[in-house]
Amino acid sequence: MAERIAYWLMPEKNAFFQWRQVIDLLADRFGGVRFDPHVTLHIQDRTTEAEWRPVIDHYENQPLQLVPADLMFSGIFTRSCYVQFHRCSEILRLCGRIKSLSSRAADDDPDPHMSLYYGTLSETDRQRIQRLVNLPESIVFSSIRAVLLRNKVRGPEDVQAWETIGES
């Protein structure tokens, strides 16, 4: 697989540390992998810095408040446990702007969610997590990060290979 660049919406500082603690707790307790909390806005084929930098520089660091809809689970490694957000006009507009600035836009549909756990979970583990994680009324996001993805994410080693290449 060719290298790709992901654009992540990052929680504001306090929310970042709060959700990073949740991710670390779940990783330690259930044998998953640690990663930074984020909402993936767009993924594209790797480009030069001259092509991806405008996406980062264009973001005005305006706080964006997302409202959690539910705590969800799936069999997909990168969506083992995640917070699904309600779709709102602000997130759709932001994704549209990023796609328009991207030189290699993909045809992806915004699905705002923030993963909390990457790994395999039993039904019992899912029930434990539901008791552990309390969703707030909203989460504030305030910056965009560009991340180089070297491989398709199938396991912890792929997550550990992520490299931040820029942030607003």
Overall pTM surpassing 0.75 (yes/no): yes
Residues of the chain with pLDDT under 70: 1, 102-109
Distance CA 158, CA 156 (A): 5
DSSP string of 138-158, one letter each residue: -EEEEEEEEEEE-S---SHHH
pLDDT value of residue 103:
58
The answer to whether 158 touches 151, Cβ cutoff 8 Å, is yes
- The residue range of the domain holding 41 is 4-167
Q: Which of 79, 58, 52 is nearest to 146 (CA)?
A: 52
Q: What is the pLDDT of residues 18-30, one digit of tens each?
A: 999 999 999 999 9
Order across the sheet with 68-73: list the strands: 68-73, 81-85, 113-117
pLDDT value of residue 3:
85
**CATH number of the domain where residue 146 is located:** 3.90.1140.10
Query: How many domains, the chain?
Result: 1
Q: What angle do CA 38, 26, 111 make, to 5 degrees?
A: 30
Distance CA 25, CA 104 (A): 37
Distance CA 118, CA 78 (A): 5
